């Protein structure tokens, strides 16, 4: 399974280093064989050698150049970062990234062989418009994306569930994941208000290959508990 922490705009470089070391120690002490990804704020990126894979929450689709306020692959190379989150709902809806921009980023980092965690998800308004509208909307977020890319990981994150404490029902998550899996065979994570109290049941669902955790990942103990749940589920398969 894949357990990912999206630290968003939180933690300083010092706190992030401490966090990653705590998670790394946990993985080693508990013989964790699951894939663990951590996405720190860009200013907290650092070289890390170990089981934890550190990824970028965002980067501009360029090696370097005149893109004020952005970082490119040159800045990722400095820390040996080869994993990136693309299409997160906060990039799409708060920052205003369009599907065309998302596709450009995807293709650029795909060319470089990055592991890409590609996020899709619908707003509440779209969900309430019914299954057909919702599936069409989700498919539109696949437009221009190579769903066969070997280093692709998908994350389904309903926008209305991110940071709100709300989640779809377990039945809804399962049925949607199974539908999405018909369109794309890549590992599929669920994200949106995953926390210690619900992670175990979400991870146990058919069609769920892991979780992408925001707010509840900020506490390293909580994040490690969720990693352990995934390990236990795999051990019991
Ligand atoms: P949340 O965020 O866990 O705080 O809902 C998830 C995400 O944005 O990836």
pLDDT at 33: 98
Strand 2-6 with 115-120, pairing: unpaired
Mean pLDDT score of the chain, rounded to an integer?
97
> What is the tens place of the pLDDT at every residue in 9-65?
999 999 999 999 999 999 999 999 999 999 999 999 999 999 999 999 999 999 999
Delimit the domains of the chain by residue range: 2-235
Q: Would you state the pLDDT for residue 18?
A: 98
The pick from 121, 212, 214, 217 for probing ligand 1's pocket by mutation, whose C-beta has the most ligand atoms within 8 angstroms, reads 214
- Protein residue with its CA nearest to atom 9 in ligand 1: 214
Superfamily of domain 2-235: Aldolase class I (3.20.20.70)
Q: Which residue, 219, 220, 225, is CA-closest to 200?
A: 225
* pLDDT, tens digit (0-9, with 9 covering 90-100), for 216-231: 999 999 999 999 999 9
Mean pLDDT to the nearest integer, 116-140: 96
What pTM does this model have?
Answer: 0.97
* pLDDT one-digit tens code per residue, 60-108: 999 999 999 999 999 999 999 999 999 999 999 999 999 999 999 999 9
State percent of the chain over pLDDT 70.
100
pLDDT at position 146 is 98
Atom of ligand 1 nearest to the CA of 164: 5
- What burial class does residue 47 get, using C-beta atoms within 10 Å of its C-beta: 0-12 exposed, 13-18 middle, 19+ buried? exposed
- Could you give the percent of the chain with pLDDT greater than 90? 99
Integer angstrom CA distances of residue 70 from 8, 66, 76, 200, 205: 16, 9, 11, 37, 38
- Whole-angstrom distance, CA of residue 123 vs CA of residue 159: 5
Q: Which residues does 169 contact at the CB level (< 8 Å), separation at least 6? A: none
């Amino acid at each position: 399974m894949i357990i990912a922490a999206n630290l968003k705009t939180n933690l300083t470089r010092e706190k992030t280093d401490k966090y990653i070391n705590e998670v790394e120690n946990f993985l080693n002490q508990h013989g964790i064989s699951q894939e663990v990804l951590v996405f720190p704020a860009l200013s907290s990126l650092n070289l890390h050698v170990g089981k934890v894979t550190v990824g970028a929450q965002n980067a501009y689709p360029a090696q370097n150049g005149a893109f004020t306020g952005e970082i490119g692959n040159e800045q990722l190379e400095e820390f040996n970062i080869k994993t990136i989150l693309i299409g997160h709902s906060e990039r799409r809806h708060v920052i205003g990234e369009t599907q065309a921009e998302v596709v450009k980023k995807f293709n650029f980092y795909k060319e470089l062989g990055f592991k890409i965690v590609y996020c899709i998800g619908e707003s509440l308004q779209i969900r309430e418009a019914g299954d057909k509208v919702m599936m069409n909307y989700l498919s539109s977020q696949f437009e221009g994306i190579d769903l066969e890319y070997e280093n692709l990981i998908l994350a389904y994150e309903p926008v209305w569930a991110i940071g709100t404490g709300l989640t779809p029902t377990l039945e809804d998550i399962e049925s949607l994941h199974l539908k999405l899996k018909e369109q794309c065979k890549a590992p599929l994570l669920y994200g949106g208000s995953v926390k210690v109290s619900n992670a175990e049941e979400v991870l146990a669902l058919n069609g769920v290959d892991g979780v992408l955790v925001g707010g509840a990942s900020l506490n390293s103990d909580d994040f490690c508990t969720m990693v352990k749940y995934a390990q236990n589920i795999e051990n019991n398969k």
